[in-house]
Amino acid sequence: MRRHRSHQNMEKSLTFFRNNKQHYVKLESFLLQFNLKVCRFYEAKDACYFYTNQGWFRFSLISYEKQELLWLKSILEYLEAASFDNWATAWQKSIILEEMRTAYFIQPWFFPEEPFSVSDPASLARAAEIIANFHATSKGFLMECALELKRDRWNDFEKNLDEKLQLINDLELKVYSEKHQKSILEFKNLLLELLKGIKKEWQSLEMNAFLENQLNSGMLTHGAFRPAHLVLQQNNYYLLNWEAIAFRPRVADLADFIGQVNWWEPEWLLFFLGEYFKRQPLCPEEYKAFHILLRFPWEVFAFLEKLLPDKLERKHVKELLKMLSRKNHCLEQMVQEFDAQKRWLWGKVNTPVIPKNGTELTSVESWGGFTKAEKPSHVTVDERVNGAEAERSLEADQQSEAIVLEITENIENFIKEEVDFTMEDNTRTLANNSNNQKITSQIHWKEFPK
């Protein structure tokens, strides 16, 4: 038995070695042109990571057109010139590897000694501040840079929604055992109802006004804003991974982060969003879109992607529906709390004073020669919300709340008949060009010694 297990482990190790070797051999001679000597190399799901005499790098396995990556370079140059300084690594050391008609992105990387703590309020507040500053800095890129609008991901959500609807529609019950078919059919119908409701609500948004507002502000999103890309170094948190920067609703970054954490506790959610809204308020259509993005069951589809088609069982359905129920209860409380004070409009209106519990601390004396800082001001927008906008937002909130209540009730009724699931991250489809064709040309953004 031991010998059999040992043989299996060796087989796995050999497969791992062959996969790594394929990309390592391909990259080694190319990297030596920049005096990058690789001493460690391994392949992950969507990228290869290698350690060199100039630190860690990440080689993305997603293929692009070269012009798209040159646009990305221009955006990073703009952010640098606009005084955004929250770089975890020196983006100027990024490299474009061109092979045949496709290009790949290599960027410097950093592995922190300890992961980002989602349960630490100070870390969470810093994360909200970082992404709010990123959004604020990227507002003027269209007008100030005169850059062509590339990577328009504005309609990605609706496309993804249609794909998921088709996936659930195509779910065949005959591949499952008879004892699970009833539960799976009920679950399928519930998901279809949820997705159709989300699509209808998304299409009811005043999308033209929403899009025009963002076009005028030129808002960019990070595209991969998640705890794993917030690294602690030199007494501060810094943002990592610039590959997915794109033009899309900024609330998508917030939804990505919350979905990655997947901790549907109202107190946690309200704290994180409150820290962001103090710095970057939302317009009514953005708030409604944000609520829709949060309600989408990304976690269910992430689970289904990992599961073999015929392995879905009643116990999985039961678990997933319990999680969806917790999520909807959390979103219901979020709607009630933020609508009561219109906290998502902070920055456009006077920020209300929140009563403090206990005694307020007052600075009397310091021993370390600290200089007293001015009280920070998070409010950078001095606009006022007009009556029509506020009235329209109230109506949108009431519609959202009614939909959440209806969905929560449906899920709870379904749970009584015993059904559910578990959730994770929705990953982008990767274009992994694994052949050993010769690298024909390359571009780098910073002069490495040759």
Tell me the β-bridge partners of 230: 239
Task: Please list, in sequence order, all residues whose beta carbon lies within 8 angstroms of the beta carbon of residue 6, skipping any fewer than 6 positions away.
Answer: none
d(CA 258, CA 251): 11
Rounded Cα distance between 400 and 344, Å, is: 15
Q: The dihedral of CA 389, 293, 86, 262: what is its sign?
A: positive
CA distances for 270 relative to 122, 154, 228, 255, 277, angstroms: 14, 26, 21, 13, 10
Q: What is the spatial distance between Cα 247 and Cα 426, in angstroms, rounded to a whole number?
A: 19
Q: Do 262 and 303 form a contact (C-beta atoms < 8 A)?
A: no
Provide the whole-model pTM. Answer: 0.79
Task: State how far the Cα of 162 lies from the Cα of 109, in Å rounded to an integer.
Answer: 35
> What pLDDT, in 10s, does the model give residues 70-123?
999 999 999 999 899 999 999 999 999 988 889 999 999 999 988 999 999 999
Report the Cα–Cα distance between both ends of the chain, in Å, rounded.
53
Per-residue pLDDT in tens (0 to 9) along the chain, 450 residues:
444 445 456 556 888 888 888 888 888 888 888 888 999 998 888 899 999 999 999 999 999 999 999 999 999 999 999 899 999 999 999 999 988 889 999 999 999 988 999 999 999 999 999 999 999 998 877 777 666 778 888 888 999 999 999 999 888 877 777 888 888 899 999 999 999 999 999 999 887 777 777 777 778 999 999 999 999 998 899 999 999 999 989 999 999 999 999 999 999 999 999 999 989 888 888 889 999 999 999 989 888 888 776 788 888 888 999 999 999 999 999 988 887 666 666 555 455 444 445 445 554 555 655 566 655 544 443 343 444 455 555 555 555 556 556 655 655 555 554 433 333 333 333 334 444 444 444 555 654 444
